[in-house]
Every structure is written in structure tokens, then in C-alpha cells.
Amino acid sequence: MRRQKSDTEHYRISELTREFGVTPRTLRHYEDRGLLHPIGRGTHRRYPASERARLAEILKGKALGLTIAEIAEALIAGHGYVKLSARQVEAQLEHLERRKAEIEAAIAALKALSQ
């Protein structure tokens, strides 16, 4: 189990990419969108423990199928945590169910073409 760093210690970009399975480009994208705020620039970025926790929340939002804008809004409303209202959960479930049906229809059409 990885030891959580104290608030005064910082994570290197390589540590976060390895831990969370993302690329440096992904982290830079989140920085460009104002979701992450590292200390330093270029190859010498350092992320405080609070930014590591924020990255975990961003990735949680992505896993729920939220857009970057929706994640940013949820982080603001949740004071640093992705927190969704019951209405937002229901809307996201409906959205994902529609996407699932579209994907299943596309798979069926492709299978029919391959026969």
C-alpha cells in the first residue's frame, strides 16, 4: 500500500501518471482546463497532496461519464469533491442508457455486415 504524503510533500508528474494510469498529456489537459494547479511548470511540476486528491475526484467524475465542464461544476459545488444531486444522477443514468442502446445497435449492425 502506498503511503499518503503529507500536505507539505509533493508528487512528481511521473508518480501521479503511474499511480492513476494516466498520461502526462492528460494531466496537462486538466491543468489547461483549470482543474489542476501544480507548482512549477514544464518538466518540474510538483503536485501537493490536495491536488492528488483532486485528480482522484476528476477521474471519478470521468468514470461516471461526466464531461470536463460537469466535473468542474461538481468540484465547485462539492467543495473539492465530485458530488451529484439525485437529479444529476438520474440524468446521467438516462444518458448512459441511451449511449448503451446506441452502441448495442451499432454492434448488431456490424455483426450483420460481417456475416
CATH number for the domain that contains residue 32:
1.10.1660.10
pLDDT tens, N- to C-terminus, the chain (115 residues): 455 666 668 999 999 999 999 999 999 999 999 999 999 876 688 999 999 999 999 999 999 999 999 999 888 887 778 888 889 889 999 999 999 999 999 999 999 999 8
Q: Are residues 48 and 75 in the same domain?
A: yes
Domain range for residue 54?
1-83
Which pLDDT value is given to residue 77? 80
Q: Are residues 73 and 98 in the same domain?
A: no
Q: Are residues 36 and 74 in the same domain?
A: yes
Q: Cβ(96)–Cβ(65) under 8 Å?
A: yes
Domain count along the chain = 2
Q: Cβ(31)–Cβ(44) under 8 Å?
A: no
Q: Are residues 74 and 104 in the same domain?
A: no
Q: Are residues 69 and 44 in the same domain?
A: yes
d(CA 109, CA 41): 48
Q: CA nearest 2: which of 55, 62, 52, 45?
A: 52
Q: Are residues 44 and 63 in the same domain?
A: yes
Q: Are residues 114 and 60 in the same domain?
A: no
Which pLDDT value is given to residue 42? 65
Q: Are residues 90 and 79 in the same domain?
A: no
Q: Are residues 25 and 74 in the same domain?
A: yes
